[in-house]
Amino acid sequence: MSECTHDCSSCGESCGERTTPMDLHAPCNELSSVGKVIAVVSGKGGVGKSTVTCSLAAAMARLGKKTAVLDADITGPSVPTAFGIHEHAVGSELGIYPAVSKGGVALMSLNLLTENETDPVIWRGPVIAGTVKQFWTDVIWGDVDYMFVDMPPGTGDVPLTVFQSLPVDGVIVVTSPQDLVSMIVTKAVKMAEMMNIPILGLVENYSYFKCPDCGGEHALFGESKVEQVAAGLGLKVLAKLPIDPALAAACDEGRVEEYQPNPMAGVAEALVAGRV
């Protein structure tokens, strides 16, 4: 065994001195009080995770809850665009102030800090992970009932940083009805379990397309397997969302809060009621 550096986040050894994720949680800004922290994760990209996150946050705000979104997808930040926010965040000696949407959702994303929204982020993993941690420690979130963390896909540096640095109360896994779903979902679930983070359930996006002419539902990406996968992992299916071009357009145009019916309204209500 090499000499201990006392940095358990970068060490794979199992020893008596090892700290747990709870011991590593970083304090949030002293002017912030955050209630529930829920991470929205996916095992792979392209499943509409950010749309699910933004819809869930918008639904929670409509229920009268003080809501925030921490955009941890540093290299692909899309949260501000969905809420129609394009100005820069501002700060003071006390910290950084999040942007606030028309519906009252507090947001922090790298797109609010770069000179141009289209500037690429060409950083190595540790720098990206450090930035995500600063979104928690340096941002003046104020009073928040529910914070949703929009995670990058996979099980790399950023998810590890979030699970270790933030007091995550639960994880929602977003997936799609494709053949690899079982393996991909299982990887994400196992990571959360290894970090002792409860998995609240699964959301299947792009589950079906409802024909506007005949009203029939068509499984464009194949028949859903999410029920079987959830049963095998002992998890709940929180929602099965359709392919909805109108919702995609609303996100592109910064109108995610206006879109109705909100596909994640039922999940938001279940969270508030303690059913998940």
Give the pTM: 0.88
Mean pLDDT, the chain, rounded, equals 88
Rounded CA gap, 266 and 236, in Å?
Answer: 14
* pLDDT one-digit tens code per residue, 221-259: 878 888 998 999 999 999 999 999 999 999 999 999 999
* pLDDT one-digit tens code per residue, 7-55: 554 454 545 444 444 446 889 989 999 999 999 999 888 899 999 999 9
| 3-state SS, residue 240 | strand
275 contact partners, CB below 8 Å, separation of at least 6: none
Angstrom CA distances, 167 to 34, 147, 156, stand at 10, 11, 18
Strands 217-218 and 209-210: antiparallel
Opening angle at CA 136, ends 95 and 41, nearest 5: 150
* pLDDT one-digit tens code per residue, 50-78: 999 999 999 999 999 999 999 999 988 99
Among 107-111, 115-119, 265-269, the range scoring the smallest mean pLDDT is 115-119
Q: What is the pLDDT of residue 155?
A: 80
Q: What is the pLDDT of residue 3?
A: 58
Beta-bridge partners for 99: 107
* pLDDT one-digit tens code per residue, 159-203: 999 999 999 999 999 998 876 778 888 888 999 999 999 999 999
Q: Are 250 and 259 in contact, with CB atoms under 8 Å apart?
A: yes
Strands 237-240 and 199-204: parallel
Rounded CA gap, 180 and 188, in Å?
Answer: 13
